[in-house]
Amino acid sequence: MRSFEEILKLCDVDLEFYEAVMELESRESGKDFDSIYLSMVSMLDAMEQSVNSALNTEFKGRLMEDEARRFGKYISQTEDLLSGKFIASASHIALAVSQYNSNMGRIVAAPTAGSCGILPGLLFAYKNLYAPSRDALIKALIVAGGVGEVIQKRATLAGAEGGCQAECGAAAAMGSAALTYLKGGSPEASAHAAALTIKSIMGLVCDSVAGLVEVPCIKRNGTLVALASICADMALAGVRSVIPPDEVIDAMRQVGKALPETLRETSKGGLAVTPKARAIEKSIFSQITPLAES
């Protein structure tokens, strides 16, 4: 799958977005539809297990406290949530899963470990609030996978190559397209939901403090579910990206290449070089005892 155009052309022949993704995947991999579908069943099962484990595991980070537990308590005690029940719930799950990853828990890289909370946050918050069928969730995951495949082929999913726009940005775009599908949006709407999301996060740098996937990674997972949600609503309302979705991804690739090395997962720029971050890094690494020479 090299383009949204390929997917949408198949959809013009009366296929759903997920069906077009499966058709293209079948052509490229030689797998039949049943095999592709079953692999996504396995992926959804693993994702759900990681969500359940994350929500029931105390986080012991090196840089931050258990923010997911704190946020979950706030949600349970607050009637009038500014962000609404869906976004707050999605953020809570995203924080928990991202923290779980940082604690070496088993997660689904969707599309990467550093962005692993966003898609499950959106899918399982939707499941909890709207009770879709299991089949619908699997098909939404296939839609998300198709979007991720296009981004991978036309740009990158690696923070070291394209900054955090390629990790958390891609995850948010995948989630936005999946939400649009779940809410009954057209294939075109799903493609534009992804494009609107990428346009809104283009240029986001990868600047992890001390080289750890905690700050600002975990909180980015928790906040970008909101962007994915509003872009899905805009697409469902008929809002379209003036720049075609494929060209948006191409622009993302160009921006990623233009980012200096200091802003691409090297911890040499952005938040990673603030005085506080430097002090944290010094504190962490001063506690590491060098291996004795043999």
Residue 33, domain extent: 4-281
> Which pLDDT does position 291 carry in this prediction?
52
pLDDT averaged per 10 residues, the chain (length 294): 95 96 97 97 98 96 96 97 98 98 96 98 98 98 98 98 98 98 98 98 98 97 98 98 98 98 97 98 78 49
* CA 168 remoteness from chain centre: 5
Q: Which two tokens stand for residue 269?
A: 């720029």
**Looking at the domain assignment, is residue 149 inside a domain?**
yes
**Looking at the domain assignment, is residue 291 inside a domain?**
no
**Looking at the domain assignment, is residue 47 inside a domain?**
yes
> Which pLDDT does position 286 carry in this prediction?
82
In contact, 39 and 164? CB cutoff 8 Å: no
**Looking at the domain assignment, is residue 275 inside a domain?**
yes
**Looking at the domain assignment, is residue 287 inside a domain?**
no
**Looking at the domain assignment, is residue 169 inside a domain?**
yes
Query: pTM of the full predicted structure?
Result: 0.96
Number of domains in the chain: 1
Residue from 247, 146, 243, 143 nearest 185 by CA: 143
> Which pLDDT does position 290 carry in this prediction?
55
**Looking at the domain assignment, is residue 15 inside a domain?**
yes
> Which pLDDT does position 195 carry in this prediction?
98
> Which pLDDT does position 1 carry in this prediction?
74
> Which pLDDT does position 294 carry in this prediction?
43
Residue from 116, 71, 119 nearest 98 by CA: 116
d(CA 191, CA 290): 50
Exposure of 288 by Cβ count < 10 A (0-12 exposed, 13-18 middle, 19+ buried)? exposed
How far CA 268 is from CA of 77, 102, 139, 205, 262, in Å, comes to 40, 20, 40, 11, 5
How far CA 179 is from CA of 77, 183, 227, in Å, comes to 27, 6, 12
In contact, 250 and 155? CB cutoff 8 Å: yes
**Looking at the domain assignment, is residue 294 inside a domain?**
no
